[in-house]
């Protein structure tokens, strides 16, 4: 079975499942994201093994799960309860940082600074990146009701996912068919400027079309801006993870998803796009969090 066939089959199963979970929302979506992000964090920590960095995996994974549970509870609650859970999330972040530093003393391993940095950066890069997706799913939108079948938060996350998928797909096939000029050969030899341009177009067009369907009150310029964020910064996220893997001399972060590698491979673009889309929509007052 070729890699392309594996990718298509995995997508045929994974995309409908992702759409279902986005539609369900609540703890169905949150729990799935917590599991996926925890596995992705484990993959990130193992990338560091070849660089003689020994992340405190047990502390990092437990910290990540507790942190996300607190955020998910905060987003699922209202009023004082939500505020308390948000406070606990911030407390968990501080406590986890101190625990990581303290635990390194007792581990007595070489490269203490590197070990601590890898443990902390995994939380900042992977866990917080995935948490922004939870924030987007659990937001109330000022763009009005999305549709009769999905709420505003679900519509926003589904639009974001489709934009990222479209960007990846258009970049791949555009680069494959007409790609000639290398984008950043030392990081990813197969990526081209033509592919990147196709990916940008796919991200913008799909975000606009999805917003017209599911978020009709969103201004076209805001949809274009969000699509451009996905089309520009999503590929940078992909390149960043590719550079980490190249430095670690590893092809895929894991082999969990046939043809796609690991969860970190599959969500690398989203980890850059989601936080920036959340920041943009918050700045232009299109969303407010549910807490």
pTM: 0.91
Q: What is the pLDDT of residue 147?
A: 53
Q: Where are the beta strands (DSSP E) in 92-147?
A: 139-141
Q: What is the pLDDT of residue 150?
A: 83
Q: What is the pLDDT of residue 141?
A: 46
Q: pLDDT tens for the chain, 291 residues: list them.
A: 566 677 777 778 888 999 999 999 989 999 999 999 999 999 999 998 888 889 999 999 999 999 999 999 998 887 889 899 999 999 999 999 999 999 999 888 888 999 999 999 999 999 999 999 999 998 754 444 445 578 888 999 999 999 999 999 999 999 989 988 899 888 888 899 999 999 999 999 999 999 999 988 899 999 999 999 999 999 999 999 999 999 988 888 888 887 678 999 999 999 999 999 999 999 988 765 433
Contact assessment for residue 17 and residue 33, using Cβ atoms and an 8 Å cutoff = no
Q: Beta strand 188-192 with 287-289: parallel, antiparallel or unpaired?
A: unpaired
Distance CA 266, CA 224 (A): 24
Q: What is the pLDDT of residue 266?
A: 92
Q: What is the pLDDT of residue 142?
A: 43
Q: What is the pLDDT of residue 290?
A: 35
Contact assessment for residue 74 and residue 135, using Cβ atoms and an 8 Å cutoff = no
**Residue carrying the six token digits 């009023």:** 79
Contact assessment for residue 192 and residue 182, using Cβ atoms and an 8 Å cutoff = yes
Q: What is the pLDDT of residue 186?
A: 86
Contacts of 80 (CB under 8 A, 6+ apart): none
Specify the DSSP class assigned to residue 184. E
Per DSSP, the chain holds a count of helices (H) and strands (E) of: 10, 4
Q: What is the pLDDT of residue 252?
A: 86
What are the residues facing 141 on neighbouring strands? 287
Q: Both tokens of residue 42?
A: 């484990």
Nearest in space to 234 (alpha carbons), one of 261, 281, 266: 266
Domain ranges for the chain: 3-289
Q: What is the pLDDT of residue 257?
A: 81
């Amino acid at each position: 079975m070729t890699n392309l066939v594996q990718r298509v089959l995995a997508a045929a199963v994974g995309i409908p499942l992702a759409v279902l979970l986005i539609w369900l929302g609540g703890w169905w979506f949150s729990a799935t994201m917590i599991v996926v992000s925890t596995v992705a964090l484990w993959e990130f920590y193992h990338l560091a093994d070849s660089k003689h960095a020994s992340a405190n995996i047990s502390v990092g994974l437990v910290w990540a799960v507790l942190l996300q549970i607190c955020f998910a509870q905060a987003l699922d609650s209202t009023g004082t309860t939500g505020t308390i859970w948000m406070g606990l999330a911030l407390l968990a972040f501080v406590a986890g940082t101190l625990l990581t530093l303290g635990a390194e003393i007792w581990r007595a391993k070489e490269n203490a600074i590197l070990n601590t940095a890898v443990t902390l950066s995994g939380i900042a890069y992977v866990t917080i990146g995935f948490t922004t997706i939870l924030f987007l799913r659990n937001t109330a939108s000022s763009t009005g009701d999305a549709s009769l079948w999905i709420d505003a938060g679900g519509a926003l996350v589904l639009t974001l996912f489709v934009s990222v998928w479209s960007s990846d797909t258009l970049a791949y096939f555009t680069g494959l068919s007409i790609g000639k000029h290398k984008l950043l050969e030392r990081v990813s030899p197969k990526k081209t400027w033509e592919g990147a341009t196709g990916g940008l177009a796919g991200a913008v067009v799909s975000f606009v079309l999805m917003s017209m369907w599911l978020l009709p009150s969103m201004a076209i310029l805001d949809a274009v801006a969000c699509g451009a964020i996905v089309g520009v910064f999503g590929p940078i996220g992909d390149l960043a993870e590719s550079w980490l893997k190249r430095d670690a001399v590893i092809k895929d972060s894991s082999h969990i998803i046939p043809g796609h590698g690991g969860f970190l491979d599959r969500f690398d673009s989203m980890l850059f796009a989601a936080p920036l889309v959340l920041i943009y929509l918050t700045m232009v007052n299109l969303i407010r969090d549910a807490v």
